[in-house]
């Protein structure tokens, strides 16, 4: 029996919470089994905060490190969402990030 969108929305939300992504800045929904996320991706975990402290001396290095960290998070988030039972696919409309057709993530220019 297919899972209802209502239930799948809660599953997707939990996956995002588990990744320490701020759900207050996202709209999370599931339509026809397809996860639909739009808004801003902000990681709230202490690891990111530590990184910001550690590399505060050089903005370029920090940006590079953060970009890598966000890319890994988005990749993992996408994988976890797609692998959730009942989810058929995912559409992401993030302010600063875009999923490429090859499955990677690129940061949109400011």
Report helix angle 5-18 to 59-83, nearest 10.
150
Q: How far apart are CA 44 and CA 48, in angstroms?
A: 7
Q: Which is nearer to other proteins, 45 or 63 (CB)?
A: 45
Going residue by residue from 17 to 56, which x/- string records binding to other proteins, judged by CB under 8 A? xx-x------x-x-xxxx-x-x-----xxxx-xx-xx--x
Sign of CA dihedral 73, 28, 38, 30: positive
Cα of 15 vs its chain's centroid, Å: 10
> Minimum CB separation from other proteins for residue 68, in Å?
18
- Residues near other proteins (CB under 8 A) are 4-7, 9-11, 13-14, 17-18, 20, 27, 29, 31-34, 36, 38, 44-47, 49-50, 52-53, 56, 88-91, 93
């Amino acid at each position: 029996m297919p899972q209802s969108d209502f239930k799948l929305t809660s599953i997707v939300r939990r996956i995002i919470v588990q990744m320490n992504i701020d759900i207050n800045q996202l709209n999370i929904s599931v339509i026809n089994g397809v996860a639909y996320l739009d808004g801003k991706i902000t990681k709230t975990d202490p690891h990111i905060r530590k990184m910001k402290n550690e590399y505060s001396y050089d903005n370029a290095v920090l940006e590079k490190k953060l970009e890598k960290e966000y890319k890994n998070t988005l990749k993992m988030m996408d994988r976890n969402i797609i692998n959730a039972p009942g989810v058929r696919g995912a559409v992401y409309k993030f302010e600063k990030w875009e999923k490429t057709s090859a499955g990677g993530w690129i940061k949109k220019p400011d």
